[in-house]
Amino acid sequence: MTKFFRAIAAIMVLAVLSHSALADGTHMTMFTKKGSFAEVKEAVEMAITGRGFVINNVSHIGEMLERTGKDLGGKQVFIKAEALEFCSASVSRHMMETDPDNIVFCPYIIAIYVLPSKPDEVRVAYRNAQMVGSPASQKSLKAVNDLLSSIIREAVE
């Protein structure tokens, strides 16, 4: 009977944690939050800078697609979409010390966007660092994924 209750408890915990997780595939992890783009973006920025990281660049992807869509005749992809680029000196250094080729996983990017089909839902996602190289390399890459996930969880929960 105890195993049954543990299983139910585990299912409930997963349900709570996954309420905001929309996709957790091999290439990306995505969370969703009801609210405004500006509020969610600010929460993500605060979660990044609160850890002492500096946002190096903000890519205005939605604006670019809107601008070029007029010339190319494309449909609206996003209501709003931006990507925040940043780095962690300690996590990145460790990642590249385990394997210099891991440079391709830096800088870290968190995308924040709203789809026209779901205007009240803000998606926050990152590209998963693939588990490659030695066991030490894989451990350091997992630390990157864990960091990005913790930043987003802080922002959306």
Q: Return d(Cα 80, Cα 114) in angstroms, integer.
A: 5
Q: Return d(Cα 58, Cα 61) in angstroms, integer.
A: 9
CA distances in angstroms from 62 to 68, 113, 137, listed in the order given: 10, 8, 34
- pLDDT given at position 3: 55
Q: Which residue has the tokens 């030490």?
A: 136
- Whole-prediction pTM value? 0.83
Which domains occur in the chain, in start order?
Answer: 22-156 (3.30.310.70)
CA dihedral 40, 44, 47, 48 (to 10 degrees): -160
**Tens-level pLDDT at each residue, the chain (157 residues):** 555 445 444 443 333 334 444 455 689 999 999 999 999 999 999 999 999 999 999 999 999 999 999 889 889 999 999 999 999 999 999 999 999 999 999 999 999 999 999 999 999 999 999 999 999 999 999 999 999 999 999 999 9
Which tokens in the block code for residue 31? 């969370």
Report the Cα 119 to chain-centroid distance in Å: 19
